[in-house]
Chain A
């Protein structure tokens, strides 16, 4: 009896997992693929569900036969020595379980191929007036350039809602993959080729983006954000980004601006000025996260500048803990926090 109970125990396992997962729901609504908020992710979600339903149908049939077999055709003890009939097979059954799956797969294949082409639509010849973003992946941050708008930024990707935004994706160092689960699928950023895709956010909001291709020690930390805004709001943002430049509102910030000009500008640009080996910081003060992962607090900014590798192992920014003292760090933080384009 004891044995028998154990034999059936496995059937409750998926159930347990399901219970555990219902407790957590469909995941974080800024991150999950299960609550799609984009045209692309909606199409993808529908196909995921279609394939899942077909597969659950298959699983039910298999599970049914399996259960009957395990209950009805057990050998009952050592004394049960009857030799069963040595059946060779059954042609009708073989045809049945070849043809039915082919039909099921056709039902899946047709919408699959249609959606595959639909998701690629317009990427070769971008429609007139559409927003285009050039995405360049770096170890371990994201650069976003709007060539038509003359705007460059990093880490926070601003897009207008209700329209397809077209992306040209590439990478500066190793392979990465650009993934915004809630809005649409992912696309690799390659070093030798440019990939194209579109995203269409259907409602304003902030969505999480991830790097989905192993790219080094801090692959896990290569997060970014997508900030989807109504068209007018986005246009206003793009306009102020274009006009924005270095600015310091206080004396402390002015001191910070000087430090920035001496120590940081080789890699980091503010507005049009500065290098581009590190993230563009024009709207740094607007960002919710430092380096994509730390909460935006003065302490975290200072800690990051002092020793970036403590937070993103293997990243390319040098440590400034020996170059800058506390006062200088505070000044730099004051300057950086003042770099805002949104009020």
Chain B
């Protein structure tokens, strides 16, 4: 604690300028949670509109805005930052590093993301949000009246740059910053999966950037890339979107897989079964993830050859995914499994995700997909994958790492209530949707006529959505309670296996007073089994060099924000001014030397010191 004491700062200024990965992690988690609540509220409104046939609650136009913003918000503004939040908060600790490779870029990535997120949602207050679906297919998106889609295009573009920067940062961090002895095949699975996710971000996001740029040109500057009457072709946009969009699914779910691998092993008190198979399965999923995008486009009319090739490629992904499922099951086999909330979410994930995987294989069959495509069957499938996989993972990760991030314990009674309500509500909402799709209900419909046998399942789905909403309120209550009067957590409340549990909760600013020596997989577990009280240090105690805080990432993002907002309203003077702010921030960054500062070894508290 004393490390913080001699650098007293204004807290707001501190949060705006921080380059500490742990604080940036908290910023990501807080803003991701905020957008998760907004996206959830949008989902509830959608489900209320569909409570009864021909029900009029929000109307067609608002419904399309809500469905677009629900999808966009949940994928880009909730799931992505929450994943990045955990990557920031945990990975440097797991690999025994003092910070990420590029602390300044890390901060820039966060502020760009939040500038984009706010921009996207400003549409609600400035004439209507985007209404062309989260996929933004042209020509619906290029011809959509008003500015809603402009907010979508520029908001995603700005936050996408942030994501790309974050991905590159974690690639470099994981390659270069591992502690001595932390070889690749000793990395915890969460680090491994985040590493692969970062690689996917690097290759997938540029495709989105191009798609959005072309959309922007069509909308703002009158080009005709996607206008058939001028020789354009909207199918190109579909390809670009899904070349990004399919890997995006794995970008989200692989880190969640990593979290489950850690949580299941920890609470089974067993080493992860088939570690190397898990690593290769993860890499293979990431690799194959780039070769299957056309399965989102089976009905576009690409012909039987393309459809067959992509069908078989898609089926192949089931193999490494199955390998992971069985390895999780056999990690628990022969273990001593306990069920705190974190593990409830991990164990609840398995059957939920298997159902999503089953429908995934079913969807890979093009002739059958001609029926499923764009029906509620697909809605059921991807919610089983994304809620059953990613959201369960994020909740599991929250209960698991909360003590490490904040130093307090979340309430377990409220946690279990949260789990059970959410789990029941989730299945009640999405399980009937499979049948709605098979019975002929297209997705993205703001209403359905009575007399088509669609009433009961829609009613059940809405009740389920209320249950999930209630569960989320309980979670928020739990977080507030814990923030106000949470029980202090020890360094290692779960009898953890990986390096982050070897240091204090929350971790000190410099993470490790001495870089630890890693002597095997599950480094901290090995030391504990050898009756060591701390990691063996790999270096003598010395002054610790820390990076300087900077306001420039915030300013640069603000510049992009101003430029984008002005461009939407075609105010080019202000737009150029905004880009000027961006340029100024970049110049300042280039000419000012950042020397950083040192935390002197005399100031380090005892707990971080050498073994006594």
Contact = CB atoms under 8 A, between A and B. Distances in A.
Please say whether chains A and B are actual partners in one complex.
yes
Interface of A: 6-7, 9-10, 13-14, 16-17, 20-21, 23-28, 31-34, 40-41, 43-44, 47-48, 51-52, 54-56, 58-59, 62-63, 65-66, 68-70, 73-75, 80, 82-90, 93-94, 97-98, 101-102, 105, 108-109, 112-113, 115-117, 119-120, 169, 173-175, 177, 179, 181-182, 184-188, 190-193, 195-196, 208, 210-221, 223, 293, 313-314
B336 A82 contact: yes
Contact of A27 (B276, B311, B362, B453): B453
Interface string B128-148: 000111000101100100000
Contacts of A10: 348, 423-424, 427
A201 to B, nearest CB: 16
A179 B277 CA distance: 42
B335 A84 contact: yes
A25 B143 CA distance: 41
Given A13-B427, A217-B63, 20 more contacts: A9-B420, A13-B431, A21-B456, A26-B439, A27-B440, A44-B368, A44-B371, A47-B365, A52-B362, A69-B333, A73-B333, A83-B336, A85-B334, A94-B323, A120-B304, A175-B137, A188-B299, A192-B234, A214-B444, A219-B445
Interface string B342-357: 0000011011001100
Contacts, number: 327
B371 A31 contact: no
Contacts of A293: 449
Q: Nearest 6 pairs between A and B by C-beta?
A: A185-B370, A27-B439, A220-B445, A195-B301, A89-B274, A191-B228
A55 B358 contact: yes
A214 B131 CA distance: 10
B273 A113 contact: no
Interface centre among B300, B364, B370 (most CB of A within 10 A): B370
A300 to B, nearest CB: 13
B446 interface: yes
Nearest to B315: A105
Contact of B269 (A83, A89, A117): A83
B338 interface: yes
30 contacts: A6-B420, A10-B424, A17-B435, A17-B460, A23-B456, A28-B452, A31-B452, A33-B440, A43-B367, A44-B371, A47-B368, A59-B358, A62-B329, A66-B329, A73-B335, A87-B330, A89-B273, A94-B277, A109-B312, A113-B311, A115-B366, A120-B303, A120-B304, A175-B234, A186-B299, A187-B301, A190-B234, A214-B132, A215-B140, A313-B61
Contacts of B273: 87-90
Interface residues of B, number: 103
Interface centre among A14, A26, A90, A175 (most CB of B within 10 A): A175
A212 B276 CA distance: 43
A174 B140 contact: yes
A74 B337 contact: yes
Interface of B: 59-61, 63-64, 131-133, 137, 139-140, 143, 228-229, 232-235, 268-271, 273-277, 299-301, 303-304, 307-308, 311-312, 315-316, 318-319, 322-323, 325-327, 329-330, 332-339, 347-348, 350-351, 354-355, 358-359, 361-362, 364-371, 373-375, 420, 423-424, 427-428, 431-432, 435, 438-440, 442-449, 451-454, 456-457, 460, 529
B442 A20 contact: no
A115 B308 CA distance: 10
A20 to B, nearest CB: 6
A190 B301 contact: yes
Nearest to B311: A112
Nearest to B329: A65
A126 B132 CA distance: 36
Contacts of A74: 336-339
Interface centre among A86, A117, A182, A219 (most CB of B within 10 A): A86
A114 B242 CA distance: 26
Contacts of B269: 75, 83-84
Contact of A185 (B131, B299, B449): B299
A212 B445 CA distance: 9
A82 B338 CA distance: 13
A51 to B, nearest CB: 4
Contact of A75 (B336, B424, B460): B336
Nearest to A89: B274
B348 to A, nearest CB: 7
A220 B336 contact: no
A98 B350 CA distance: 18
A84 B270 contact: yes
Query: Secondary structure at chain B's binding surface: helix, strand, loop or mixed?
Result: helix
Nearest to B142: A174
Contacts of A69: 329, 332-333, 337
Contacts of B375: 212
Nearest to A115: B367
A187 B318 CA distance: 26
A192 B230 CA distance: 10
B326 to A, nearest CB: 5
Contacts of A52: 362
A314 B333 CA distance: 58
Contacts of A192: 228, 232-235
A231 B132 CA distance: 41
Given A113-B312, A220-B60, A212 B460 contact: no
A21 B432 contact: yes
Contacts of B235: 190, 192-193
Contacts of B132: 214
Contacts of B438: 26-27, 32-34, 48
B355 A59 contact: yes
A69 B350 CA distance: 12
B366 A17 contact: no
Nearest to A180: B440
Contacts of A70: 337, 347
A20 B460 contact: yes
Contact of B311 (A14, A109, A120, A173): A109
B301 A31 contact: no
A113 to B, nearest CB: 5
Nearest to A221: B447
Contacts of B311: 109, 112-113, 116
Contacts of B277: 89, 94
A148 B296 CA distance: 34
A213 B365 contact: no
Given A185-B299, A186-B374, A32 B274 contact: no
Interface centre among B60, B368, B451, B453 (most CB of A within 10 A): B368
Contact of A213 (B60, B337, B374, B447): B374
A220 B274 contact: no
A101 B322 contact: yes
Contacts of B449: 223, 293
A217 B446 contact: yes
A119 to B, nearest CB: 5
Contacts of B140: 174-175, 214-216
Interface centre among B332, B350, B423 (most CB of A within 10 A): B332
Given A109-B315, A208-B452, A48 B362 contact: yes
Contact of B365 (A14, A94, A112, A220): A112
